[in-house]
Structures are given as C-alpha cells and as structure tokens.
Structure 1
Amino acid sequence: MRRHHFHQVVQSEPETESESDVETMRCISCKEEYAARDAGTCKECYEEASETEEELKREIEDLKAKVAFLRFWSPLDHAHRGSPTPSGPIFPDVVLVASDDGSPGLPPVPVPAHKAVLVNRSPVFKAMLENEMEESRSGTIKISDVSYDALRAFVNYLYTAEAWLDEQMACDLLVLAEKYQVKHLKVFCEKFLLSRLNWDNSLLTYAFAHQHGAKLVLDAALSLITDNMDKLTKKEEYMELVEKDPRLVVEIYEAYLSKQVNTAVLKDTSTKS
C-alpha cells in the first residue's frame, strides 16, 4: 500500500529586507548601483540630465533666434513697391566705407554688400536705403568711428550670424549693433563680454555698458562691483571714473546702499520669523 506523506505548511512572517536582500539595478549613465524600488536613474544622473536639458533648451532658443535673424529677405515682401520681377533683385549692390580706416595717404578700402541684406538685417539701413537719402543714391555708406576690420566683421555677421571675438572686437561690434539696431548681434556681443567679466575689468566694462545700453553686462558688472566695495577706491580706474563721469560713481554707491538696505531688511524679517 502506497503511503502518503502530508506536510504542514506554516506561513511565517515576512522577514525584514536586509541590505544584502535588496534587489539592485545599475544606472545606464554612470554604472553605479541603486535600489530597484528607486527605478529610473540615480539622483546624480537625473540632476545632470535636467541641467543638460535646460542647456539644450537654451541652445535651441539661440538657434531659433539665429535662423530668424538669417531669414533672407524675399522679393515678394516688396512686390507692392513695383519691383521689376518677383525673382529679380530690387536693390543694386552697395559698399560700406570705414572712416577710421588706418591707411594714411591711401583711400579707404570699401566693404561690399547687398542692399537687400542690409535692409533685412537693420531697420536703420532699411530707412536709409528705402528712402531717397544720399546713401541710397550714391550706393556708398560711410560709417564713422569704426575700423576697417570691425566694419568687415560687422558686414560678415549680417550674412552669417557669426564673428570671431576678442574683448575689443566685441565692444566695437556692440557699438555698431546698437547704432544700426541689430539686436541679435548686440546680444551676441553682450554674452561674450559677460563671459570675460572679472574684477580687473569690471569698472571699465560697467562704464562701457552704461554708455551703450548693454543691460545684461551693466547689471552683471554693477553686481560684481557692489560685492567688492572695499576694494573699489584702490583701483586706478576708479579715480579716472571720478574725474570723467562722477555720475556713474554716484550710481554705484546708490546701488550699493540699496543692496545693503535690502540685505538688512531680509535679515530682520528672518530673525522675526
């Protein structure tokens, strides 16, 4: 006779998971292990990915602005002005001449361009060339207070939205961008100057930004200066600024006092709470 064995099944209380029992997974980015219940990616990689995403968004916005800036003028935009043919050029070529072309005894070297491009990129050129002004009739635009190299870089930017910059060239191009209302170029130069801003050049940069309405650079330079007021009067540029433009010195001290008041108010509010 076949014997049957019966086993009593006893359900025990589930044991608390020890660290060795916890199932782990490996992050595909950094290869570090993390608990399976925290599925996804490790905290460090997640934060890094978020920063990368924000950076990519900024780059995309910059590219969109660049594409919008480089959108070439279409003959159809001016069809109502009586252009000869929709596909033909409305404006003849034009040359730009730098008044500060450093070639003594020699005529300035002209920088060739197309009126259609200038009109599309700058509202100042647009007003100048679409009306019966001297530049429109002669086909020559004289640019004052600019070197040939800066003018050539300026015209090249109008075609390509690119420029090789050092601090001097960035300042020269920003002045031209402000004068001819090329906003994309002005922002481009401001970002470069921001990347080069430091304590040594802060006062000169502040004065320059103030003169040319470069708000991004102005605010950053002023913040840097007011954070180092104990060193301000020791700078050679400080005494020069006092003599040349004392109004700017007053504005710096006003900004410093305002910052001190705001800091005191915040401390007082924090103490009471």
Structure 2
Amino acid sequence: MFCQSCKDVYEEEEAGTCKECYEEASETEEELKREIDDLRSRLLFLRLPSPTLDASSTAHSDLLLHAIPASSSSSPSPSGDADAGRFDTPAIPAHRVILASKSPVFRAMLDNEMEESRSGIIKIYDVSYDVLRAFVHYMYTAEALLDEQMACDLLVLAEKYEVKHLKSYCEKFITSKVNNDNAITHYAFAHRHSAKQLLEASMSAIMESMPTLAEREEYKELVVKDPRILVEIYETYISRQDNTAADKDSDCSCRK
C-alpha cells in the first residue's frame, strides 16, 4: 500500500502512513505543543495582577531605573556621595504597577516606605544599560532579543529580582546553544545560578568530551577558581561509567 503523505510503499499494519512520516508528524506535533505551552506561559506572565498595588491609582506613577555597571559601582562621586551624579546613561522609565506585578522583589520594595518607593528612582547595580533596557522591555512584552551574552546577563538579573518566567526563557535559549566548546563555561554558570536544565545539558556535552577536558582553558580556570565543580564533573563521569559497566554485565548475564 502507499503512504498517504509521501506515497512510498508501506506495510499494511502501519495504517495509512509509513514509519518515517509518522515519526516526522509526531515530532511536528511535539514542537507545536511546546510552542503552545510557551505562548500560554507568556500570556500568563503578561496577565499577572499586582496583589498589593492599586492599578487605578498607580498606573501613571512612573519610576526611573538607572543602570550602574560594575566598573562604576565602587567609584565615589566628587561630592563624596557614593550614588550622586553617577548616572552616565539615560534613565529607563517604568510603571511601578508593572514591576510590582512581575517581581516580588520590586513589589516588596515599592509596597513599603523604602527610599525607592518615595523617590521613584531605582538604581540597578552591576548591569549595563542595554541589559536593563532589555529587562524592562521583557516585563512589558515577555519578549527579548537574545544572544548568549544577553541571555546570561538577563538570567542573572531575573534571578536577582525573582522574575521566574524570564529566567526560564533565558535558560532555554542558553541550553539550545550548548556544545562541546562551551559546555564547561555554561556548566559553571548553571551551577552558580541553579539552572537545572542548563546544568544537565552542559554535563551531557562535557561527558562526550572527557578525554580532552583537561586541555581546555576553561578547565584550567576552574582549577583555580572553583575546583569543586571539577570534582562534581569527575564524580558524575565515574558514576556513569560504573552504570554503563553494570548494564553490560547485566546484558551478558541475560544472554548466558
């Protein structure tokens, strides 16, 4: 009989579709399901209400967010005020009701009589202007234009302000970029920021390149900076080798 999709001959028990077309259709279906789940997640994020701030009274209460990069965070101003006159980049406007609805950290900050709530100025340390602008844009749209560096920077900011949807969004993007060349760097990053999906993907890539692991510059840096991560990598490798050996022994026993 002929496949209804590709017209190739197939076995009768395959019910109208050859195995290759069936598997391709299944993959497409799974991809569509993931896209639908992502859209639902974005809509839920955008619809999040603010449980503590009255939208009718605060919708027009603008805030000004200022990015203070790490290079300037320890440079005092001439007046002696550690924060005065340090804003070298434009302010990024935002509405407190939006920030409070998406971040419990901002909510706590703005729902209480803290300096940021009274002044309407929030200083975000150790972040560039471009990253902060992308962060605020995501709070309004649930969208971000990512490359690997931007995704990493936004994930750190999302973790700091507990914007879980953004953290997950960035983690998925970084995970899709994991390969043998960057696996060690991404594994260390995932370890620092509790990114489980990225951690597992990076570990899988590392396992594939274990024979040349010690030759990499990233490996040598970890020896100095955080040898505990290397211990964890080798423990995982040994554990998987033991499991593989045990499975082979089991197969041999069954055959006998």
Task: Quickly name the TM-score band, shorter chain normalised.
Answer: 0.7 to 0.9
Alignment of 1:156-171 (within 5 A): 156-171=137-152
Deviation at 1:194, TM superposition (A): 1.2
C-alpha offsets along residues 165-194 of structure 1, whole Å, 9 cap, x if unaligned?
111101100100111111111111111111
CA contact (8 A) 1:99 1:146 kept: yes
Distance change (3 Å), C-alpha of 1:91 and 1:128? farther
Structure 2 stretches of 5 or more lacking a match?
Answer: 73-84
In structure 2, distance between residues paired with 1:183 and 1:37: 47
Shift of 1:106: 6.3
Deviations 1:15-73 (A, max 9, x none): xxxxxxxxx4561x223355777643333222221221111111111111111001153
| Residue 57 of structure 1, aligned match among 19, 33, 48 | 33
Moved over 4 A (4+): 33-39, 101-106
> Deviations for 1:207-246, whole angstroms, at most 9, x for unmatched residues?
1111111111111112211232110111112111101111
How many angstroms apart in 1 are the aligned matches of 2:16 and 2:92?
A: 57
SS in 2 for 1:66: helix
Contact 2:67/2:87 (CA < 8 Å) preserved in 1?
Answer: no
Distance 1:211 1:106, change over 3 A: closer
Q: TM-score of the superposition, structure 1-length normalised?
A: 0.81
Aligned mate of 1:261, from 238, 242, 256: 242
Task: Decide whether the 8 Å contact of 1:100 with 1:147 is kept in 2.
Answer: yes
Aligned equivalents of 1:101, 1:249: Cα separation in 2: 28
Q: 1:34 to 1:169 in 2, by over 3 A?
A: same
CA distance in 1, matches of 2:166, 2:174: 12
Aligned-pair identity in percent equals: 59
Superposition pairs of residues 80-229 of structure 1, within 5 angstroms: 87-89=56-58, 92-100=61-69, 107-229=88-210
Q: 1:218 to 1:203 in 2, by over 3 A?
A: same
Deviations 1:133-187 (A, max 9, x none): 1111111111110000000000001111111111110110010011111111111
- Cα RMSD between the aligned structures? 2.5
Q: How many residues align?
A: 242
Flag the structure with larger Rg: 1
Is the CA contact (8 Å cut-off) linking 2:58 and 2:96 kept in structure 1? no
TM-score by length of 2: 0.86
Q: Distance in 2 between matches of 1:102 and 1:163?
A: 25
* Correspondent of 1:41 among 7, 14, 17: 17
Please say if residues 72 and 117 of structure 1, whose CA atoms lie closer than 8 Å, have aligned partners that are also in contact. Answer: no
Contact 2:3 2:16 in 1 (8 A): no
The amino acid that maps onto 1:89 is: T
State the alpha-carbon separation in 2 of the partners of residues 238 and 102 from structure 1: 27
| 2-structure distance, mates of 1:272, 1:25 | 43
Aligned pair in 2 of structure 1 residues 202, 90: CA closer, same or farther (>3 Å)? Answer: same
Q: Which structure has more helix as a fraction of its residues?
A: 2
Aligned to 1:8: none
User: 2 CA distance for matches of 1:134 and 1:89?
Assistant: 17
Higher relative contact order structure (alpha carbons within 8 Å, sequence separation ≥ 6): 2
Find the aligned partners of 1:142 and 1:105 in 2 and give their Cα distance.
Answer: 10
CA distance in 1, matches of 2:13, 2:48: 54
Alpha-carbon separation, structure 1, partners of 2:218 and 2:13: 60
Shift of 1:252: 1.1
Deviations 1:111-134 (A, max 9, x none): 110111101111111111111111
Could you tell me which runs of 5 or more consecutive residues in structure 1 were left unpaired when the two chains were aligned. 1-23
